[in-house]
Amino acid sequence: MSERTLVSFDWALKHLLRDKANFGMLEGVLSTLLDDRITVNSVLESESNRENATAKYNRVDLLVENGQGELCIIELQYEYESNYFARLLFGASRCIVDHLAMGEDYSQVRKVISISILYFLFGEGDDDYVYHGTTEFYGLHSGNKLVLKPRTLTALYDVCEAPRQLNIFPEYYLIEVERFTDLICNPLDEWIYFFKHSEIKPEFTAPGIQEAREKLDYLKLAAPDQHAYRRYREDLASERDVITTARLEGQAQGHVEGHAEGHAEGHAEGMREAARNFLYLGLSAEMVAEATGLAIEEVTKLVNK
């Protein structure tokens, strides 16, 4: 049985997953990654899911509000970006601020979960392809994690709300798709396999993934969506070619400039060696400078060494 041709997750993220009828796919991805049963209340507006005349090659993102009132940023990144961690922090921080009304009590701060699906090699080594980070506090002397006293919890929060209120710091998930070796060991691997290959096998059982297999079937898309997807892939290939060409041209120019600089430095070092020999033979600094073309100050430094 031949595999279906599925639209890529990046295009689905930008065009299909904002539709409430397709929330099951988002719930499947989030439930599998966070190891919890996640429901999606709504998809909120984010910077790059707005319709744009040109394709967003480097970044596609979606902002989701889940059933617990948490905000989940799902982002795809194709190319390495300098200060990437700083931008992740800024994005999460801005999300928190944007969803806290002016003058509203800090107890209403929303939890943000930032999920980055990376199509470039970000870290070193190949021992993992999914990373998780959050903010925790540990004693400098004991190394023990800070745990608030029960009376502190009851003084600050309603007891039943305390766990949610304390778990307010942003969490970050980094998925390095290109480092995934295609070895399926758990349900999350099935989703990552789809991220990498735009393919879902009939035997996959991760939450929501067979729904994705049905709804992302290219042949089942309406004709306008098929045309939009073809155009998107063409634009993506063109933008990728432009970036690759610019990178290669930059590397070539750097090689030429580096070769020229290296040649010049090699010539200068050769003249300095000749100057040392002339000085050893007893020639004056002025005569050596005239013979080698070196500045008299540089020859004088050689004399004093």
How confident is the model at residue 229, as a pLDDT?
87
How confident is the model at residue 56, as a pLDDT?
45
How confident is the model at residue 292, as a pLDDT?
75
How confident is the model at residue 146, as a pLDDT?
86
How confident is the model at residue 72, as a pLDDT?
95
Tens of pLDDT, residue by residue over 71-85, are 999 998 887 777 889
Residues of the chain with pLDDT under 70: 1-4, 45-59, 150-166, 238-267, 280-283, 305
How confident is the model at residue 133, as a pLDDT?
94
How confident is the model at residue 264, as a pLDDT?
61
Burial of 300 (0-12, 13-18, 19+ CB in 10 A): middle
How confident is the model at residue 55, as a pLDDT?
43
How confident is the model at residue 65, as a pLDDT?
93
Closest listed residue to residue 169, CA positions, set 77, 98, 101, 95: 95
How confident is the model at residue 93, as a pLDDT?
93
Q: Whole-angstrom Cα distance, residue 301 to residue 94?
A: 57
Helices 296-304 and 285-292: crossing angle in degrees, nearest 10, is 130
8 A C-beta contact, residue 72 and residue 66: yes
Q: 217 φ, ψ to 5°?
A: -65, 120
How confident is the model at residue 258, as a pLDDT?
53
CB-based contacts of 211-218 (< 8 A; 24+ apart in sequence): 211/24, 211/25, 211/28, 212/6, 212/12, 212/25, 212/28, 213/4, 213/6, 215/16, 215/22, 215/25, 216/6, 216/7, 216/12, 216/16, 216/25, 217/4, 217/5, 217/6, 218/4, 218/5, 218/6, 218/7
